[in-house]
Amino acid sequence: MLRRRRRSALLAVGLLAGLLAPVTVAAPPATATPSGSKKVIANLWEWNWPSVASECTTVLGPKGYGYVQVSPPQEHVRGNQWWVAYQPVSYRIESRKGTRAQFQSMVNTCHAAGVKVIVDAVINHMSGQDAGGTGWAGSSYQHYTYPGNYQSQDFHYCGRNGNNDIANYGDRYEVQNCELVNLADLKTESDYVRTRLATYLNDLLSLGVDGFRMDASKHMPAADIAAIKGKLSRSTYIVQEVIYGAGEPVLPTEYTGNGDVHEFRYGKDLARVFRSERLAYLSNFGEGWGHLPSNVSSVFVDNHDTQRDVGGVLTYRDRGIYALANAFMLAWPYGSPTVMSSYTYTNRDAGPPSDGNNKTLNTTCYSGWECEHRWPVIANMVGFRNATEGAGVSNWWDNGYQHIAFSRTGKGFITINDEDFAVNGRSYYTGLPAGRYCDVIHGTYDNGSCSGPVITVDANGWFAANVPAHDAIAIHVGARLS
């Protein structure tokens, strides 16, 4: 079992230092960290546009999510696997998830619900089909020819490993100039390619899009992304996918000058803590564990890749423990959290529920779709995040093992008991104003009433309660009854 040094006393100082950490890489001004008071992102992965729109209105807006992240919207190769979306064929906004008109309507509807839209932007490569074919919207293409967009001179041919594929992640040149699983690798150093990519992103911005998740960012030099960003028509939120790999030369920190970076160590470390270590170790989670500076770090318990391939993370299959891990993420002021929303699957490649033509069906939660972002614990903790925004951590307490507690100073308090036994009759110091608060882990606060247990904080900031095994209690000033 790994032991980590406890540094509770330094916690507030460490977090503060992280928030103030200077951005060191020179690049166009970065819009790092989603702006606005509602910062939690719901990743409605593989949802079609009409379903995203209605979810913005009925769930995401009301629950306080600030952003929705959607799957790649551009034309892609045909097929029923989910990953066809990651093989662009043209930049027409027409895919198995919907038409351009549906996409535009979705953006407008989400905005009206107070939810901004982040698009998964696939700009490192085009398709990986040796035989070529016809794309979703009817565009014909060859592996290295995309009429009207790119010709053979717009791609890298690294000439290594017999097939131009990346084999050695220890070699920077190979990682950025060879092909990721046979995907035709764009010459992102070329001004023509940069301009074409920026034109696509600007088209999305013109439709009202608020940010981009830059797919496969590790496979493009940070300077290439900066150059593309420099061609954008307005400033926008950017989060880059650079999976930290031990010993690899291309590092997540190279990209922080462009915007946020996904911190893949977060989900792995959190899973290990919940599965085989101690929650008590979380008292300095984040920078204290060597993760990216908080203000440029994008975090999640799992994403579509880690729940399938990389492994070692908690997923919807872990049920209650997954909910607790998300509750911790949303309560803990490190990074910008994304809540994953999945469809259930047994075959790694299987696409979401779709019709006979592979067109994605409307989402029906809890029927083929897991909708983790709606799980009451997770959805209610978004309100906790919003209500505690900007408040530091205080009153950290742990029992040395799996029972922890902390306040978000003056705004909220959570205790998580991941022991195999209930802890009954204990009192907790919250430092919160006296009052009756809704326990948002077990109840939903709505319009002044609470559907679950009510926690009474006394005049000295204490409350007494029982916490069952593998359970939690969370209260915050946004869900106070009196």
From the CB of 144, what's the least distance to Ca ion, in Å? Answer: 14
Binding flag, residue 215, Ca ion (CB under 5 A): no
Which of these, 463, 470, 419, lies nearest to 441 by C-alpha position? 470
User: Least distance from C-beta 264 to ligand ARE, angstroms?
Assistant: 8
Q: Which is nearer to ligand ARE, 169 or 429 (CB)?
A: 169
Q: How far is the CB of 163 from ligand ARE (least distance, A)?
A: 10
Q: Which helix (H) or strand (E) holds 363?
A: none
Residue 49 host element (H or E): helix 49-55
Provide, rounded to whole angstroms, the least separation between the CB of residue 104 and ligand ARE: 24
- C-alpha 38/C-alpha 35 separation (Å) is 8
Q: How far is CA 36 from CA 31, 247, 312, 367, 400, in A?
A: 12, 36, 33, 33, 37
Out of 185, 215, 372, 439, name the contact with Ca ion by CB under 5 A.
Answer: 185
Nearest position to ligand ARE, beta carbon: 128
226 makes contact with ligand ARE (CB under 6 A): no
The listed partner (Ca ion, ligand ARE, none) that binds 216, CB under 5 to 8 Å by sort, is ligand ARE
* Binding partner selected for residue 185 from Ca ion, ligand ARE, none, CB under the kind-specific 5 to 8 Å limit: Ca ion
Q: Please give the Cα distance from 117 to 100 (Å, whole number).
A: 15
The answer to whether residue 476 forms part of the interface with Ca ion (CB under 5 A) is no
Q: Is 215 annotated in the active site?
A: yes
CB 250, min distance to ligand ARE, A: 8
The whole-angstrom separation of Cα 256 and Cα 337 is 17
Instruction: Name which of 46 and 120 has its Cβ closer to Ca ion.
Output: 120
| Residue 262 contact among Ca ion, ligand ARE, none, beta carbon within 5 to 8 Å by kind | none
Query: Does residue number 245 form part of the binding site for ligand ARE (CB under 6 A)?
Result: yes
Q: Which residue type, as a one-letter code, is found at position 89?
A: V
Q: Which two tokens stand for residue 355?
A: 């019709």
Closer Cβ to Ca ion, 155 or 396, answer by number = 155
- Which member of 196, 218, 219, 265 binds Ca ion (CB under 5 A)? 219
Q: Which residue is nearest to Ca ion, using beta carbons? A: 219
Kindly tell me which residue out of 43, 51, 87, 297 binds ligand ARE, with binding defined by CB under 6 A: 87
Provide CB contacts within 8 A for 180, sequence distance 6+.
Answer: 124, 125, 165, 166, 216, 219
Per-residue burial over 33-67, b = 16 or more CB atoms within 10 Å of its CB, e = otherwise: bbeeebbbbbbbbbbbbbbbbbbbeebbbebbbbb
Task: Rule CB under 5 A: say whether 194 interacts with Ca ion.
Answer: no
Strands 393-398 and 336-341: unpaired
Q: Which of residues 161-200 bind ligand ARE (CB under 6 A)?
A: 169, 180-183
Q: Which of 413, 345, 331 is nearest to 378 (CA)?
A: 331
Q: Of 120-128, 157-165, 293-301, 356-364, which segment contacts Ca ion by CB under 5 A? A: 120-128
Token pair in block for residue 237: 């939120």
Report the residue number, 124 or 294, with the smaller CB distance to Ca ion: 124
Binding site for Ca ion (CB under 5 A): 124, 176, 185, 219
Which residues are annotated as catalytic? Answer: 215, 241
